[in-house]
Each structure stands twice: as structure tokens, then as C-alpha cells.
Amino acid sequence: MKICVIGAGHVGLVTSACFAQLGHSVINVDNDKIRIRNLMKGSMPFFEPGLERLVKENRKNGRLGFSASVVDGVKKCGLIFICVGTPPREDGEADLSSVEKVVRKIARSLSGYKTIVEKSTVPVNTWKWIKHTVGLYSGQGADFDVAVNPEFLREGSAVRDFLKPDRIVIGVENERARKIILEAYRKIKCPKIITNLPTAEMIKHASNSFLATKISYINSVANLCEKVGADVQSVAQGMGYDPRIGKAFLSAGAGYGGFCFPKDLAAFIYIAEKNGYDFAILKAVQKVNEEQKRAVARKVKEALWVLKDKVIGVLGLSFKPDTDDMRLAPSIDIIKALQSDGARIKAFDPAAMANAKKLLRGVRFCKNAYSAAEGCDCVLVLTEWDEFRDLDLGKLKRLMKIPVIIDGRNIFKPEQMKKLGFVYKGIGR
């Protein structure tokens, strides 16, 4: 099939490379000409395991092309995926101006039948606006269908998530669009949920918000565990064996971040409000997450008493491991809180330092975990990168001024840390 993917961000580029990998002929369009030029030269705009190889391979075999022109992509392809960003406004409402602009461009480039698929995470019933706008700008008699196909991929495992998904959700109005989208995903074996368009949009909102709820829930349980002498990891394990609860997304820590959960939650709350419903549970989820970041900063303070001129070595800056993404990473708020109390920050992250440098001021970025820990009054773990689990802890201790570790992601074992002579505090245990 000939597929045009509009947007070369995380979702768009992964979608493009993976559809090419499935054997389709793909044009990935983005209005950022520099990004497109770099992609044509083989340089990736962000780090995502396995993606660079897929892009190179499919560039070579001619199945993946890049373009800065929507017209170009739409003219050549029958199936069009919209994967542009929907950033949050101040009040939480999603900013749909990029989607609207792209839709107008698609409308003006229509020639012959097209299936236009909304893949960006958007407020429920955005499909109606897409349909209306395409009709408005393409003139009478244009032949097209609008469909919804939300993306559930996670950064860091995006390629695997796309090619081996738990499910594919497809919202359509008719048989024609259903057949075309199913054909695009024919080689992927997984449950395929075919439903109407608003339901498909709601599935995405409801899924992300539920996952964020799980995280804030376990973080709340963790806070209580600390007070009563229980261990949240064992509590989560004990809960997770119940298939109605499940083991995933029950890791207590420094709170969720990234570009999806905070933004999608705010958008869902906003949509609810606009429709006259107070989504109180999600407001509490947000509040718990903000408080969790403050709680981690407080733990450092409790361990060191006065923070002024204390040196804190932060291990991990990205919002989660295996990504260089710093967007809304808990590390930003936590580091700022520590700095505002006068602490001096050294930091190391295996992938996110370049992005972190743009967001954090007054931080000394170090070449590895050991140099970040050297001379520190406290080491603070904020991202659970595997390489931190494998650190030589004896060496780390020798390098530190005093051996205090605040483990914001519970990557170390409390008994082992105590045996090694660390003053150790995790989350919820």
C-alpha cells in the first residue's frame, strides 16, 4: 500500500519506519525542513532503540521516503495518517492548530479517494472536525473517509510496541475504510478492535489516564507504607498476582512524566469539564503526582538537614530509561526544588544530557555516574537506567563525601545498601 504519514515526531517516525518494514511504501512528511533534510541524510531527530536501523534499512530498499510537502505525500498515497503534535495549552485543552492546518492542506491536495486516519492523541470527537474541515476545504464531491487509529506505543520500546502491539484500535464509519486500514495492519497478529470513531478516541484517553491512575495509586500506597513499616514493592507484587489488577505499572517512584501522561490527563479532565462532568479521580491523580516529586526532594532534605552548599549527584534525568526525552521529566522539578534550597547539583544521564542542558541551569553535567557521585553529600537516583543497577557500589561510596543515597526509583536493595554502609532511603519501603 502507499501510505503517507504526516508528522516525523516520535509517533510519526516510528509509524513510518514500521509500516515500511511491513512492506508498504511510505512517505513521511514534516514541515520542519531541517528535520526532513537530516532524516534524508540518515541522522535521527531523537533516540529510540531499533528505530535508526529500521529507517536506514527501509531508506536503502526504497520503501521509506521523506518530504516536507503534504501535497506531495497526499497526491502519491491513498492512506494518510495524521501524527502531528497536540501540545497542551495553559488550561489543559489540547492545541489542535497543527492538526487543523494539516487537515486543510490534505483537503486541498485531494485527488481521488483517500482514507484519512487520525493517529495523534486528540479530544474525543475531533474526527468530526476533521471530516467537516476536509469537506469544507476540498470542495463538493471529494471522496474520502475519516478514521481513528490511536497509537499506544511507549518511548524506549516504540518499535516493538508498534510491531507487536497488545491490540490495534480502529474507529471507522464504513466498510471501505475498515478494509483499507485492516489491510495496512494485515501482517500484525493481535486483537483488532473495530468500533465507531468516538469510541476509538475514548479508548486512548481512558487507557492513558488509567495507567497514570495506577502510578499515582501505588505512589499513595508507598507513602503510607513508609509510615507503617511496610514494603511497597512486596505490596505491589502481592497485588499484581490478581489478574484483575495485574503486575504492570505498579512501580512506586518519583512520579510519572513525559509528553503523554501529563498532557493526556490534562486534556481528558478538560474534555470532561467541557461536557459538564467533574473527573475528580483524575484531578487527584495529577495532585498526587505533583506531591510525589516534592516528596522526593523532601527526602533529600530530611537526610541532609540543611541543603545550602550541599552537593547532590543526580543519576538519571530522562523521564524514563531508554530515551533521551526530557519533556516534563520529574527530574526537572526535583532539581529545581533542591537548587532553590541552595543545593549544588551534579548530574549524569546515559542519553538525555544534551536535552537536559537546554532545560536545566546551574547543573554540572558529568561524564559518568562515578564522576557525578564524586565529592557528593548525597546521590539521588531519578531514572532507573540499567547501567545504574550495575554500578560498583563500593567504588561509588569511596568517591562520595558521605554515603547517602536517595533512590527515587527503588533500583537498589535496602538490606544490601545498609550492609555496604550507605544511609539509604527508597520510596515506600
The pattern of x and - marking residues 274 through 313 that bind ligand UDX according to CB under 6 A reads ----------------------------------------
**249 sits near ligand UDX (criterion: CB under 6 A):** yes
Residue 57 CA, distance from chain mean position:
25
The Cα–Cα gap between 116 and 130 comes to: 9
Q: How many CB atoms lie within 10 A of CB 135?
A: 15
Size of the site for ligand UDX (CB under 6 A): 19
**258 sits near ligand UDX (criterion: CB under 6 A):** yes
* Binding test (CB under 6 A) with ligand UDX, winner from 15, 120, 251, 331: 251
In this structure, what C-alpha cell is assigned to residue 80? 494518510
Active site residue 378: no
Q: Which is nearer to ligand UDX, 210 or 277 (CB)?
A: 210
Asked if residue 2 belongs to a known ligand binding site, the reply is: no
Stretch that binds ligand UDX, among 189-197, 246-254, 279-287, 367-375 (CB under 6 A): 246-254
The Cα–Cα gap between 282 and 288 comes to: 10
* Binding test (CB under 6 A) with ligand UDX, winner from 30, 48, 155, 322: 155
- Minimum distance between the CB of residue 37 and ligand UDX, rounded to whole angstroms? 27
**365 sits near ligand UDX (criterion: CB under 6 A):** no
Instruction: Give the CA distances from residue 84 to residues 120, 122, 248, 387, in Å, rounded to whole numbers and listed in that order.
Output: 6, 10, 29, 33
**12 sits near ligand UDX (criterion: CB under 6 A):** no
- Minimum distance between the CB of residue 160 and ligand UDX, rounded to whole angstroms? 12
Asked if residue 100 belongs to a known ligand binding site, the reply is: no
Asked if residue 413 belongs to a known ligand binding site, the reply is: no
**382 sits near ligand UDX (criterion: CB under 6 A):** no
Asked if residue 133 belongs to a known ligand binding site, the reply is: no
* Binding test (CB under 6 A) with ligand UDX, winner from 36, 84, 153, 304: 153
- Whether the Cβ atoms of residue 256 and residue 215 lie closer than 8 Å to each other: yes
Q: Which is nearer to ligand UDX, 377 or 384 (CB)?
A: 384
Q: Could you say which of 83, 260, 376, 378 is catalytic?
A: 260
In this structure, what C-alpha cell is assigned to residue 296? 522526593
91 forms beta bridges with: none
Q: Taking CB under 6 A as the criterion, which residues in 201-220 touch ligand UDX?
A: 208, 211, 215
In this structure, what C-alpha cell is assigned to residue 85? 503534535
The Cα–Cα gap between 28 and 2 comes to: 11
Q: Taking CB under 6 A as the criterion, which residues in 318-347 touch ligand UDX?
A: 319-320
- Minimum distance between the CB of residue 156 and ligand UDX, rounded to whole angstroms? 6
Asked if residue 197 belongs to a known ligand binding site, the reply is: no
Asked if residue 320 belongs to a known ligand binding site, the reply is: yes
The Cα–Cα gap between 406 and 316 comes to: 12
Which residue numbers belong to the known binding site for NAD(+)?
30, 35, 86, 121, 155, 263, 327
Residues near ligand UDX (CB under 6 A): 151-155, 208, 211, 215, 249-251, 253, 256-258, 260-261, 319-320
- Catalytic residue IDs: 260
Which residue numbers belong to the known binding site?
30, 35, 86, 121, 152-155, 204, 249-253, 257, 263, 320, 327
